[in-house]
Amino acid sequence: MSYHEQVSRTLAILARTPGWARLKSLRPDCDDETAEAILEAAADFAQGVLDPLGGPGDREGARFADGRVTLPVGFADAYHQFARSGWLGMDIAEALGGQGLPLTLQAAAFSLFDRACTALMMAATSARAAAHLLAEVTDGEIAAEWVPNLASGQWAATICISEPDAGSDVGRLRTRAELRGGEWIVSGNKIWISFADHDLAERIGHCVLARTNERPGTRGLSLFLVPDTIDGKPNGVVIERIEEKLGLHTSPTCAMRFEGSHALLLGEEGRGLPQLFTMIELMRVATGCQGLGLASASADIAENYASERHQGGAADQPPVAIARHPDVRRQLFEIRSTTEILRAAVLDIATMMDMARIEGDGELAALSGWMLPLIKNFGAEAGFDIANRAIQVLGGAGYTREWPLERHLRDARVMTIYEGTTGMQALDFLTRRLWRDEGRGLALFLNRARSEASGNKEVLAILDGFAALSVRMDEMQADTDAALYWADAYMRAAWAAVSALMAHRIGETQAITGLCAQFAYYDALCG
């Protein structure tokens, strides 16, 4: 399947997505013809501009010298073209320099861009998410200055959370911000910061969590924008090194420090982490798109190779395409069905988030919040798993650099780690989405799914089983350690239920039997 065939699949699934019809009724400027034109143009850009960068960029990688990071030839030009063409600001408000398009079209387009060059799109993802953050939590002056420059690609942005002694345990962050003479000054170390320095943009703004008081845990954290330069002069932002990583070689992951850097307080003091979730949630959806992009690319390679590679068959006859061998057919089916089920789920959550924002629909907000840990984690897992399975189809050829599958595998591996590890997503899914929210999103999902799949006994059986499992997990609040031990299995059971609904929606009926078995396994694990 080419980039344009991926567009055709996306449009076909959109047509079956309940929220898309509802969204079009409120956004007549986003009809099917417009969506097709936008995604076809995105496919052209992805294939023609971004795709040629992937392999050479991976081999050369980002370089660090004299305290600065440079990317391979062609990356800065591609990023500028990407921004000038409007792709970077697709879903940013028109008043702030964007296109004002729905998240649904942004997610569909970015899965094409991530497929083409995941490493470069890491910069675009953080800049876009920061633009939304600044538009939401800052005063008009900061948003008016920064958001248009981010959308245009003139400036860039990062998210700065992790420190040497505090990764997921955000409450132990030690970077400090002090108010001196009416100005905030930030000092401290941060690690694992993607695109903390580069030559793509003229200026970089760091969205930094820093401690402003002695209150324990996250209550003492505030959110700041720390520019790398002010009036063209350095602002105490020092890059110490870039990490040598398994993959994403053209995405510089930096260790950095702030040495008395002047900063702008974003939002309310002491509410840094809740405010930063505007950015984090968008980046978690983006992780699902990244996984979908790499899964789509890997599935295409496996299918094309299997149709062209001839081996086996009757000894007195010419060899046959390996796609005709039963075991290879099985592998190709699992690869494709997993990819398209994920595509349906990504489009589903995007339409829900759009409608929740446009209509202020609290139920859709609760439902999309319930699905968010699933999209983030299982999108990430699919990117790695499908690349891995595709390598198996190609055999020894897939293990070589002649084919991009080994690069896709390496690039995808980190995705279940950043933006919240698998374990963190499972804890969130259990303790927040089920316990704290009292199962509101769960109830909405079950009601909607039962209505949509009312005639499918297999899907209904999974939904009933998941409802019963959720009751058991809810009752385990009295034994927290035991419940947390099984949180991962519970999240995987939920994904089997969501996948069954998506398979029913897009007509992947053969996949449902396997999903029944998956659900039964995780249901049994939870006791």
The residues carrying an active-site annotation are 419
Query: Coil, helix or strand for 261?
Result: strand
DSSP state of 48: I
Q: Measure the CA–CA gap between 418 and 487, rounded to whole angstroms.
A: 19
Contact 23, 102 (CB under 8 A): yes
Q: Nearest 5°: CA angle at 413, between 412 and 419?
A: 85
Contact 338, 425 (CB under 8 A): no
Task: For strands 253-266 and 221-227, give the pairing.
Answer: antiparallel
CB atoms within 10 A of CB 268: 12
88 Cβ neighbours under 8 A, 6+ residues apart: 82, 124, 127, 128, 150, 151, 152, 153
77 Cβ neighbours under 8 A, 6+ residues apart: none
For residue 221, the one-letter residue type is: L
Which residue intervals of 395-455 are DSSP H helices? 405-413, 422-427, 440-452
Nearest to 129 by CA among 337, 228, 276: 276
Q: Could you tell me the sign of the dihedral formed by the alpha carbons of 362, 374, 115, 281, in that order?
A: positive
Nearest to 184 by CA among 242, 266, 109, 91: 266
> How is residue 155 written in tokens?
């400036």
Buried-state track 72-105, b at ≥16 Cβ within 10 A, e below 16 = beebbebbbebbeebbbbbbbbeebbbbebbbbb
Query: Coil, helix or strand for 456?
Result: coil
Nearest to 184 by CA among 140, 136, 227: 227
Contact 370, 430 (CB under 8 A): no
Nearest to 431 by CA among 499, 394, 486, 496: 486
Contact 363, 444 (CB under 8 A): yes
Phi, psi of 256 (to 5 degrees): -145, 165
Q: How far is CA 425 from CA 121, 170, 285, 343, 523, in A?
A: 23, 15, 13, 20, 18
Q: Measure the CA–CA gap between 284 and 287, rounded to whole angstroms.
A: 5
Q: Measure the CA–CA gap between 199 and 191, rounded to whole angstroms.
A: 19
